[in-house]
Amino acid sequence: MFKRLGRRFRALVGGARLDRQMDQELQFHLDLETNRLLQQGLTPDQARTGALRTFGGVEKVREECREARRTSWADTLERNTRYAWRALRRQPGYVAAVVVTLGLGIGANTAMFSVIDGVMLKPLPYPGSDRLVLIREAAPLVGQDEVGVSIRELYDYREQLKDFDGLVEFHSMSFDLINRGEPDRVSTGVVSANFFDVLRVRPVLGRTFVVSDEGHGAAAVLVLSYEYWQTRFAGDPTIIGQVFEMNDRPHTVVGVLPPMAQYPENCDVYMPSNACPFRARGEQQMAEGRRRAFGGLTVFGRLKPGVTVERAAADVAMVANRFNRDFPTVYEKSDGFKANAVPLLQEITRNARPMLLMIMGATLLVLLLACANVASLTLARTLHRERELALRVALGAGRGQLAGQLLTESVLLALGGGALGLVVARLMLGGLTSFIGRFTARTGDIHIDVTVLLFTLGLSILTGLAFGALPALVARPGPAAALKQAGPSSGGTPRRRRLQSSLVVAQVAVSVVLLVGAGLFLTSFYRLQSVETGYQPDRVISAEVFGNFSRFKSADDFRRLYLPIVERLERIPGIVSASVASAVPLGSEQMYMDAPVRIEGQAVRTKNGPTSGITIATQNYFDTLRIAILGGRGFLATDTADAARVALVNKALARNWGTRDPIGTRVSVDNGETWMTVVGVTANVRQFSLEKEPEAQVYIPLTQSLMGLPGRVLVRTQGDEQAMSQVIRAVVHDVDPNVPVKNISTLEELRRRYLSRPLLTAMLLVLFAGVALVVTLTGLAGVMATSVSQRTQEFGVRLALGARPAVLVRSVLRQGAGLLILGVALGIAGASAAGRVLTRYLFDTAPTDPLTFAGVAAALLLTGLVACLGPARRATSVDPLQALRSE
Amino acid sequence: MPPTRLDLLQGTLDLLILRTLIVGPMHGWAISQRIQQVSQAVLQVNQGSLYPALHRLEEAGWIEAEWGRSPEHNRQAKFYRLTKSGERRLREETRQWEQMAAAVARVLTGEA
């Protein structure tokens, strides 16, 4: 075969050389013929002319040879395409069915591939981004898969690693930028001075940071993102040099970034590392000896030329080991602290990757199902065309040529499907992109571009070959078939029937796998959303009312803001209860988390001691959220600033008391400086996530708090929620007109937003499974119909002999059930084996959840039998006389 | 009576070429000579039409060609050889040809 390809290639490319060879060959022949005639006694002249005469026109021969050579490849393809076009035009119904089916299947795959290409395959939009590498720390032995880098560690890495051309830090914060008196909450990226240099990003206006910006006492500067510059400042070209107040300091804008997706996060503005007040405090603590102070940095760098990622990873790991060795009190053996280096792109897509691959797998399965259906359809069509094909064989088409012909048809159909698929993909891409945006930040590069087009083309051709191969292999009509009459029992040979049955069984198995996947996600979602949360979100509105750092410094300042707000809100009719708290369930993160807790009477443990989140709240907090108080009391009006300090703990924290009652003992959350008496125990509240176990919590009344807080107003209302949000705004501005009221939403909405990710995932899989089921049932019905038409004689005879129609129906159904049971069994086997990949996405649901499996099996069997009913009923409407006659 | 010269159908020519090559590789001129020989000069191959047929058979993969040295004439010549699929094709076509010929013969003798 390769010789043939080689020859064809040479024919395309080396025409002139082949011409010369042909001339040589013909000349050889002429010379020999001339020689022969010479030996017969003719004169040389006569011999030559004689030879030429018997040869025939040399030019003509040359032309014909060239034509014979050219009948390869392009010509065959052209001929096949013409025949295919004509043949397909005669079967519009079949063509429509195939193109639509394949269009949907290929379209879904094209859309998914665009997403995968845009998220995982394309390099980051920075020049030389494959040299960008992230340092990743972890403490796996204490369950910390990912640990941020601390300031001290970053400096150590910089000193001790020789692999990098610049190691930079990044962390993001939410600050207020005072723009013409209006505070604007901006997401701020706090970065090293050479951050943009390492990324090789050039500003579109002004400059990025320089080393001196990071120096002590340097004036604070800002770099704006392109989007923020456009939306907030309408692209004002005079923005450079303007000064805004942030965190009590004037910040001068020195540059604007170009329009591009940003990594690691999208930020509105950027400031140098020394301008962040929290980081500054961290530096102070570091100077006092706390090695892990401010341990939330993302650190990455550009590899020096010639350094491989592997070497960098090894070096980073070595440095981390040195940390373990030199600071055993900070990095205890039981933590298992380690570090390595990974390419930045890989890190960014880490969360999305399994989800993407899973969905891609599902889409491919759906395409496979569609192919099986189309293959079955085509098999049936080939039967109808037996005479036409046999004629062609009789006219000299070889078996290979016939197969090529049929394959050309199927590839043509598949290309049509692919074209339709591009349209389908275009429609799907928007929704798919926003879905995947919940898993990764990298959605800016998802487009239908040349790569995707090539993928679609390749996939279409493969699909065409796949579904066409089966019928092409099977189509082997002998010349005698052209003369045969197409009889009623031309359902085909047993071989064909077995092929169709196997196809159906395979389809059923694949559908089972998809249905099980969908079922598992649905079950997981259902269990997630019905998990006990510890509070009641209905009719509660929350709003972020954050006091600016510059104006609100002490706890008293915050009390002066929040207490009047609560008081006024409670006086409003329609509001059942109001409070302000430092955290809202399922809202953004709590400010105080993992604070070490000291319990009076228990030994102090610096490591592995109890930690807890701290919620500062006003008196009616538990009432507003309907959090149950299990023992003792809630906050009372008597818990004033001069009264004894009190606190509540939740059940999770109460476990630290063992069997003793926590009420009456004292706790401290500031390392023993101040102590509070526990006066009540509350139920556990799932504060941040529905999946994780509730964290320990200490509740401190706002009236006694020593710390400030980012206050969230919580209002339980009887009336209209929309109207209430206006009321809240009015009341807040009544108390202090300069405090922004942001993110007003009901707790129900927060919960819905939180659940949207697992819900959408489940819905997506249900969609796939639904499509798969429909495709499979159609295929099953088709095969049963064919089988019934083949058994018409048998049915006719049985009916004539007095069989009841119900018996025939049962016979057909039994046949269908056989296929279904086999397919379901295979599918269950496959799903149990493959299910393990889903474990990390499932909540409280095993990948072999028996309920789901049973449900899917039952559903498939039932719907399958229903699908067989139609053909089964047709079996009973066979006219026995007719059937007997066409023997 | 001089033997009639029949014009050969294209397919038949293919068959004859394949049959001739059963004995071994040959170049074009030798093939034409042999066909004439064996058929006792009844089948006169229009020598020119041999070459397009040879090229076509080569395209179809039933014969393959190699340039070699012709021993008798000490020149470069293109030798053709039967391939496996060519052998299969030969068997298949021969069978069909014989069937058809027998059928035609039956009809003729029956009518006679």
Q: How far is CA A83 from the centre of its chain?
A: 43
Q: For A248-267, what is the mean pLDDT?
A: 87
Asked whether residue A274 carries a pLDDT value surpassing 70, the answer given is yes
- The rounded distance, in Å, linking the Cα atoms of A281 and A283 is 5
Query: Is A416 or A598 the better-scoring residue by pLDDT?
Result: A416
Which residues of B are less than 8 Å from A34 in CB distance?
none
Sign of CA dihedral B54, B59, B64, B67: positive
Does some domain include residue A390? no
Q: Is A341 left (phi over 0), alpha (psi -120 to 50) or beta?
A: beta
Distance, in angstroms, between A51 CA and closest chain B CA?
9
Of A127-131, A486-490, A734-738, A846-850, the range with the lowest mean pLDDT is A486-490
Which residues of B are less than 8 Å from A61 in CB distance?
48-49, 51-52
Q: Do A769 and A884 fall into the same domain?
A: yes
CB of A116 closer than 8 Å to CB of A448 = no
Query: Is A320 or A491 the better-scoring residue by pLDDT?
Result: A320
Q: Do A590 and A681 fall into the same domain?
A: yes
Q: Do A725 and A764 fall into the same domain?
A: no
Beta strands in A266-383 (DSSP E): 269-272, 298-303, 338-343
The closest CB to that of A68, out of B52, B73, B89, belongs to: B52
- The rounded distance, in Å, linking the Cα atoms of A252 and A224 is 11
Does some domain include residue B2? no
Does some domain include residue A504? yes
- The rounded distance, in Å, linking the Cα atoms of A96 and A110 is 20
- The rounded distance, in Å, linking the Cα atoms of A723 and A726 is 5
Nearest CA to B68 out of A622, A21, A275 is that of A21
Does some domain include residue A214? yes
ipTM confidence score: 0.82
Beta strands in A67-180 (DSSP E): 132-139, 144-147, 164-179
- The rounded distance, in Å, linking the Cα atoms of A468 and A407 is 5
Does some domain include residue B27? yes
Buried b (16+ CB within 10 A) or exposed e, A190-200: bbbbbbbbbbe
Does some domain include residue B4? no
Per the structure, the complete domain to which residue A690 belongs is given by: 547-739
Which residues of A are less than 8 Å from B58 in CB distance?
7
Residue A252 pLDDT = 93
- A28/B27 Cβ within 8 A: yes
Give the number of A-B residue pairs with CB atoms closer than 8 Å: 73
Residue A480 pLDDT = 53
- A69/B11 Cβ within 8 A: no
Number of structural domains in chain B = 1
* pLDDT confidence band for A695 (50 / 70 / 90): confident
Both structure tokens of A328 = 């055993």
- The rounded distance, in Å, linking the Cα atoms of A323 and A325 is 5
- B47/A29 Cβ within 8 A: yes
Which residues of B are less than 8 Å from A57 in CB distance?
48
At which residue do the structure tokens 């340097």 appear? A218
- A68/B48 Cβ within 8 A: no
Residue A781 pLDDT = 85
Q: Do A524 and A614 fall into the same domain?
A: no
Name A853's Cβ contacts closer than 8 Å, sequence gap at least 6.
Answer: A516, A519, A828, A831, A832
Name A260's Cβ contacts closer than 8 Å, sequence gap at least 6.
Answer: A125, A201, A226, A444
- The rounded distance, in Å, linking the Cα atoms of B79 and A664 is 108
- The rounded distance, in Å, linking the Cα atoms of A369 and A375 is 10
Q: Do A168 and A135 fall into the same domain?
A: yes
Does some domain include residue A342? yes
Query: Is A425 or A444 the better-scoring residue by pLDDT?
Result: A425
Number of structural domains in chain A = 4
> pLDDT averaged over chain A?
84
Angle (CA) A599-A602-A608 rounded to 5° is 80
Q: List, for residues A79-99, the tens digit of each pLDDT value.
A: 788 888 888 888 888 888 889
Angle (CA) A111-A112-A113 rounded to 5° is 90
Residue A549 pLDDT = 67
Q: Do A552 and A516 fall into the same domain?
A: no
- The rounded distance, in Å, linking the Cα atoms of A474 and A460 is 22
- The rounded distance, in Å, linking the Cα atoms of A603 and A598 is 8
pTM: 0.69
Preferred mutation among B9, B14, B29 to probe A, highest tally of A CBs within 10 A? B29
Q: List, for residues A59-83, the tens digit of each pLDDT value.
A: 888 877 777 766 556 777 887 888 8
- A68/B55 Cβ within 8 A: yes
Three-state DSSP state, A857: helix
Does some domain include residue B62? yes
- The rounded distance, in Å, linking the Cα atoms of A193 and A214 is 6
Which residues of B are less than 8 Å from A25 in CB distance?
27-28, 51, 77-78
Does some domain include residue A397? no
Both structure tokens of A870 = 């139609």
Residue A481 pLDDT = 52
Q: List, for residues A284-303, the tens digit of each pLDDT value.
A: 888 888 888 788 889 999 99
Q: Which amino acid is at A477?
A: P
Both structure tokens of A351 = 């969360």
Which residues of A are less than 8 Å from B78 in CB distance?
21, 24-25, 28
Distance, in angstroms, between B68 CA and closest chain A CA?
11
DSSP letters, A492-534, are: --HHHHHHHHHHHHHHHHHHHHHHHHHHHHHHHHHHHHTS--S
Q: Do A315 and A175 fall into the same domain?
A: yes
Does some domain include residue B70? yes
Q: Do A554 and A584 fall into the same domain?
A: yes
Distance, in angstroms, between A841 CA and closest chain B CA?
56
Q: Which residues of chain B have pLDDT under 70?
A: 1-11, 39-46, 111-112
Label each residue of A111-140 as H, E or C: HHHHHHHHHHHCCCCCCCHHHEEEEEEEEH
Does some domain include residue B51? yes
Cis ω for the linkage preceding A264 (within 30 of 0): yes
- A67/B52 Cβ within 8 A: yes
Looking at A717, A739, A761, which one is the last position of a domain? A739
Does some domain include residue A79? no
Q: Do A819 and A698 fall into the same domain?
A: no
Three-state DSSP state, A242: coil
Residue A820 exposed, middle or buried by CB count within 10 Å (0-12, 13-18, 19+):
buried
Buried b (16+ CB within 10 A) or exposed e, A233-261: beeeeebbeeebbbbeeebebbbbbeebe
Q: Do A605 and A710 fall into the same domain?
A: yes
Residue B34 near chain A (CB below 8 Å):
no
Looking at A671, A704, A739, which one is the last position of a domain? A739
Asked whether residue A466 carries a pLDDT value surpassing 50, the answer given is yes
Q: List, for residues A163-187, the tens digit of each pLDDT value.
A: 898 899 999 888 888 877 667 788 8
CB of A294 closer than 8 Å to CB of A283 = yes
Give the CATH number for residue B84: 1.10.10.10
Residue B1 pLDDT = 39
User: What DSSP element (H or E) covers A617?
Assistant: strand A611-617
- A61/B48 Cβ within 8 A: yes
Both structure tokens of A200 = 């090789």
Q: A153-156: which pairs have CB atoms within 8 A and are 24 or more residues apart? A: A153/A291, A153/A292, A153/A295, A153/A323, A154/A297, A154/A299, A156/A319, A156/A323
Residue A413 pLDDT = 92
Distance, in angstroms, between A378 CA and closest chain B CA?
27
Q: Do A571 and A711 fall into the same domain?
A: yes
Both structure tokens of A400 = 């290979």
Per the structure, the complete domain to which residue B18 belongs is given by: 10-111
Percent of chain B at pLDDT above 70? Answer: 81
Which residues of B are less than 8 Å from A1 in CB distance?
61
Tell me which chain A residue has its CA closest to the CA of residue B50.
A61
- The rounded distance, in Å, linking the Cα atoms of A481 and A493 is 13
Q: Do A878 and A760 fall into the same domain?
A: yes
Of A26-40, A328-342, A584-598, A819-833, the range with the lowest mean pLDDT is A584-598
Residue A374 pLDDT = 87
Both structure tokens of A62 = 């040359």
Sign of CA dihedral A774, A776, A780, A783: positive
DSSP 8-state class, residue A81: H
Does some domain include residue A538? no
Which residues of B are less than 8 Å from A54 in CB distance?
46-47
Q: For A714-742, what is the mean pLDDT?
A: 85
Residues of A with CB under 8 A from a CB of B: 1, 3-4, 7, 21-22, 24-26, 28-29, 31-33, 54-58, 60-61, 64-65, 67-69, 71-72, 396, 398, 479
Does some domain include residue B5? no
Query: Is A318 or A88 the better-scoring residue by pLDDT?
Result: A318
Does some domain include residue B1? no
Which residues of B are less than 8 Å from A55 in CB distance?
47-48
Looking at A42, A71, A100, which one is the last position of a domain? A71
Q: How many CB atoms lie within 10 A of CB A138?
A: 18
Q: For A856-862, what is the mean pLDDT?
A: 91
- The rounded distance, in Å, linking the Cα atoms of A422 and A427 is 9
